[in-house]
A = this chain, B = another copy of it.
Amino acid sequence: MVWQYDRSAGQRGSLGRCARCATRPVCLSADLKDDALRRLPQLMAKSGSLQTGAHLYRAGDRADAHYYVCSGSFKTYTASVEGDERITGFYIPGEVLSCTLGDDGRLDGAVALEPATACRLNHDDVLALNSVGCLSHFFQKQTERETKLLDHQLILSSPSAQARFVGFCLQYSDRLLALGRRSDILPTPMSRTDIANYLGMTLESLSRVTSRFSKVGLIHSSRTHIELLDSDTLRTI
C-alpha cells in the first residue's frame, strides 16, 4: 500500500488535493478555505487505489491512525476465536474507520469491497487539526461513527430477520442521503453473505426476506443493487 502526502499544495497556485476531492463536502475539509485547505493534505496521507479484496489494514496491525474513506467502500470484520468471521460494518465515502484496539493491535480488519481509496490521519497528528481549524469536524466525525455503531446495535437487537433487514436498508439509505447520493438505490458491492452476516442471520433467511419484499413490491433486488420502491411503508415496519 502506497501512502502519499500532498506536499505540493500551495505551490503553483494549487489549493491541493482536498480542494479537488469529490468527497470534500462530507469530509474534514468541508468548510476549510485557502490556507487551511492547503495544509490539510499535508497532514493526511492518501492511499493509492486499493483493488477489490485488498486490505486497508489487518487485525493485529498497530492501530495508530484513523482512515477516512475517500472513494469506493470497505467492510470491517473481526474473527472470533472459533474462526468464524463477523462483519462489523460497511463504510462509504466520508465515513471513518478507526480505533478498534485489542491488547496487541487492531481487533478488526478492513477490506475494500470495490476499487477504493482512503486518507490516513495518524493519531499523533490529531491535535494538529486544531491549527488547521477542523478539530471540531474531527470530533463530529467520531460522534457520527459512534452513532453508526449504536444504530447497528439497535438493528441487531431486533428480534425478527425482517426488521433487521429493514433497519439495514433505512440506515444505508440515510447514509447515502448524507453523502448527497440517491437514497432509494442502495449499491451492494458486498455479497449477500456479508449482509446476512452483518445482520446476524443466515444467507437463506436474508434471501427469503428479499424475495418476500420483492413479491409485494416493496423493493427491487438485483445482484448489485437494492432499490427501495416504497420507503414509507418500510419505515413503518
Tell me whether A154 is interfacial, beta carbon within 8 Å. Answer: yes
Interface with B: A99-107, A206-214, A226-234, which one? A99-107
Tell me whether A135 is interfacial, beta carbon within 8 Å. Answer: yes
- When all copies of this chain in the complex are counted, the total is 2
Contacts of A139 in B (CB 8 A): 123, 126
User: Is A157 a contact of B156 with CB atoms below 8 Å?
Assistant: yes
User: Is A99 a contact of B142 with CB atoms below 8 Å?
Assistant: yes
User: Is A200 a contact of B150 with CB atoms below 8 Å?
Assistant: no
Contacts of A130 in B (CB 8 A): 127
Contacts of A88 in B (CB 8 A): 150, 153-154
Taking CB atoms and an 8 Å cut-off, the chain A residues in 133-189 that contact chain B are: 135, 139, 142-147, 149-150, 152-154, 156-159
> How far apart are A128's CB and chain B's nearest CB, in angstroms?
12
Separation of A152 and B78 alpha carbons in the complex (Å): 13
Tell me whether A86 is interfacial, beta carbon within 8 Å. Answer: yes
Tell me whether A80 is interfacial, beta carbon within 8 Å. Answer: yes
Residue of B with least CB distance to A152: B153
User: Is A127 a contact of B123 with CB atoms below 8 Å?
Assistant: no
User: Is A86 a contact of B157 with CB atoms below 8 Å?
Assistant: yes
> How far apart are A154's CB and chain B's nearest CB, in angstroms?
6
User: Is B107 a contact of A147 with CB atoms below 8 Å?
Assistant: yes
Taking CB atoms and an 8 Å cut-off, the chain A residues in 3-59 that contact chain B are: none
User: Is B200 a contact of A156 with CB atoms below 8 Å?
Assistant: yes
User: Is B101 a contact of A147 with CB atoms below 8 Å?
Assistant: yes
Contacts of A142 in B (CB 8 A): 99, 142
Separation of A146 and B127 alpha carbons in the complex (Å): 20
Contacts of A200 in B (CB 8 A): 156-159
**Chain A residues in the interface with B (C-beta under 8 A):** 78, 80, 86, 88, 99-102, 107-108, 123, 126-127, 130, 135, 139, 142-147, 149-150, 152-154, 156-159, 200
